Each structure stands twice: as C-alpha cells, then as structure tokens.
Amino acid sequence: MADKKIIAITGATGAQGGGLARAILADPNGGFAVRAITRDPSKDKAQALAAKGAEVVKADLDDVESLKKAFAGAHGVYAVTNFWEHFSAEKEKAQAKNIAEAAKAAGVAHVIWSTLEDTRSFMAPDDKRMPFLQEKYRVPHFDAKAEANAFFKDVPTTFLVTSFYWDNLFMFGLAPKKGEDGSYSWAFPMGNEKLAGIAAEDIGRTAYGVFKAGQSYVGKTVGIMGEALTIDEMSRKIEKGLGISPVKYNAVEADVYRSWGFPGADEMGNMFQADRDFAKQMLANRNLDEAKKLNPQLQSFDQWLAANKDKVLPATQPAATA
C-alpha cells in the first residue's frame, strides 16, 4: 500500500470520480491507491469506498487550504467540479482555480481536469441563434470548464473532454416517458444529428487508463465517448433493449426547449443546440478509438442499456417525472 501512487479524487462520491475510484480499487495490483475527497466522509458513498480500501479525506472545493492538505503526498489528482449543484459558471471557475492552485502547491505529478469545450468559439459574438446566459456564456457549464483550462497551465495536466452521460436518462429524468396512449416519447433540439454519449462509469475508467499511461498524456487533450447516436437511433435501441414501443422522438426547436422553464432549461437548450448545430466539431473533439484503448471495458449504448435496464425502465413511467 505504502509504495502505491495515491490518486486524490475530487467528486469521488459522484459519477465521474466514483467511476475512477471503483476502477482503481478493482485493480489491487495496479500500483495505485484511492484518496477519496468529500465534504462529508460519513456519507454512504464515502463509506462504501472506504469499505473497499479507499482513504477518505474531507475537503471542500471552495476552500483551497483544505485541498492543499488533501492533495499532500498524492501522485495524481482527478479534478471535477459540479456545475449542477449551484448553476454558476463563476463558481465553477473559482473551484477549478482552487484545485489547480492546490495541485501545484502539493507538487502533484499528474492532474486530470474534467473539461468541455468553449462553445463560444463556434459562434461569432453577434450570432443570434442562442441567447447568452450568465451575461457572457453560450453554454455556461461547457464554457466555464474550458476557460478554467488556463488555470492548469503550470500544472502537469491531461485535459479530459467528456461526453453526455447516458445515465442522464434516469439521473436527470431524460428517458422517454409513457403517454396516455401507451406510446413513449421524448423531445430534444437535436434534429437528426448524432450526440456523443458515454456511460458515466466509463469516464472514470478511462481516466484510470490515462493515469496508468502516465507522463505521455501530460499536456494532452483527450476527448472521449462511448458511441455517437442520433436520438432516433437511441429510440430504436431503447425499444429493443427495454422491450417498449413505440418510442417517438420529437425534434423540437431549441427556443421551444428553452421555454419549458424547468431549472436549467435554457442551459440545456443551448447545450443540445450546440451539440446539434456544431455536431461536426463536437464529434471531431471526441475519439472513440482512443477511449477504447484507454478503457478496454468501454460500453456501447446497447451494453450500457442492458446493464442499466432496471434503472431506465422505471424512469420511463410518468410517475418518475414527479
């Protein structure tokens, strides 16, 4: 244990960091050890990692000194911020800055920063197709992460460009819903473009591949996905995989989606519109072959669906939206 390289994982009780922690813990001879960072070491998800052999350390992304202590002696840091807890691009950037500063102070050899692209680079500032949000962002949770890349310039970092989690189908209630006529439907402003998706668990598994590959990935940007599919293609796979039909895709306009008013509707409307209008760039930024090389267990949508049928099926029932 003592000679293992410690990976300090922010978000260890969440989807991305949890996937990485589980991947390391499942490979006891891999040469790496988990330091799971959480604001609350007593919570079930932290305790579950401790039971599997992780060291659990308390720290807060808003408190740089707590991060410096949590990163001390670590070989690597997995850096992820959670936009959806506060919906603030500025806060997300401040937290990323704290992580980078603490990693530098601790002399960490390898950071993986979980990032996304700056969607503003796709459009001229006077492009009217989508509104600016939080004054200066097109898709705040993308643009803020991309801006935060600059904080890591003096730290040995791999920039991991992630993809839409298929787990959103049950985590965020995005699964097709059963209507009164017995058919299932879902709506996105995705037109007939392909959306790069991934099993959330595979992000962490791929990050483990990056840590194992080591220094050759420092300074690199690695875009990952499990599969790119149109919503119609996903609908056909859901019909087959879950044994429900028909699943109808309603290709709404982005303005309509943004007008629905649920928390984050404007943010997600802009995000799907960026995924649709700039599909070529979004797909070019993600490399399936490299993701498979780093993570031989990488799942396709069908594989993910088969493994998560018991979670996705209940999410198709109208009650699940309540």
For residue 228, give Cα distances in angstroms to 54, 171, 204, 217: 34, 20, 19, 24
Total interface residues for ligand NAP by CB under 6 A:
26
| Residue from 6, 7, 8, 16 in contact with ligand NAP (CB under 6 A) | 16
Q: Whole-angstrom distance between the N-terminal and C-terminal Cα of the chain?
A: 46
CB of 78 to ligand NAP, least distance (A): 10
CB of 165 to ligand NAP, least distance (A): 4
Q: Which C-beta is closer to ligand NAP: that of 61 or that of 175? A: 61
Residue 285 CB partners (closer than 8 Å, separation 6+): 117, 161, 223
Q: Which C-beta is closer to ligand NAP: that of 45 or that of 178? A: 45
Q: Which C-beta is closer to ligand NAP: that of 61 or that of 190? A: 61
Residues 18-77 within binding reach of ligand NAP (CB under 6 A): 38-40, 43, 60-62
Q: Which C-beta is closer to ligand NAP: that of 15 or that of 298? A: 15
Indicate whether 209 belongs to the interface with ligand NAP (CB under 6 A): no
Supply the angle between the helices 15-25 and 44-51 in degrees, to the nearest 10.
10
Residue facing ligand NAP at closest CB distance = 14
Q: Are 39 and 12 in contact (CB under 8 A)?
A: no
CB of 56 to ligand NAP, least distance (A): 10
Indicate whether 81 belongs to the interface with ligand NAP (CB under 6 A): yes
The C-alpha angle 93, 24, 76, rounded to 5 degrees, equals 45
Supply the angle between the helices 200-213 and 15-25 in degrees, to the nearest 10.
50
CB of 84 to ligand NAP, least distance (A): 6
Piece in contact with ligand NAP (CB under 6 A), picked from 20-28, 158-166, 220-228, 307-315: 158-166
Q: Are 247 and 110 in contact (CB under 8 A)?
A: no
Exposure of 121 by Cβ count < 10 A (0-12 exposed, 13-18 middle, 19+ buried)? exposed
Q: Which residues pair with 229 in a beta bridge?
A: 195
Task: Return the structure tokens found at 91.
Answer: 């806060």
CB of 216 to ligand NAP, least distance (A): 24
CB of 120 to ligand NAP, least distance (A): 16
- Listing from the earlier edge strand, what are the strands of the sheet with 184-188? 177-178, 184-188, 247-251
Indicate whether 13 belongs to the interface with ligand NAP (CB under 6 A): yes
Indicate whether 85 belongs to the interface with ligand NAP (CB under 6 A): yes
Q: Are 197 and 288 in contact (CB under 8 A)?
A: no
CB of 238 to ligand NAP, least distance (A): 17
> What does the binding site for ligand NAP look like in residue numbers (CB under 6 A)?
10-17, 38-40, 43, 60-62, 80-85, 141, 162, 164-165, 168
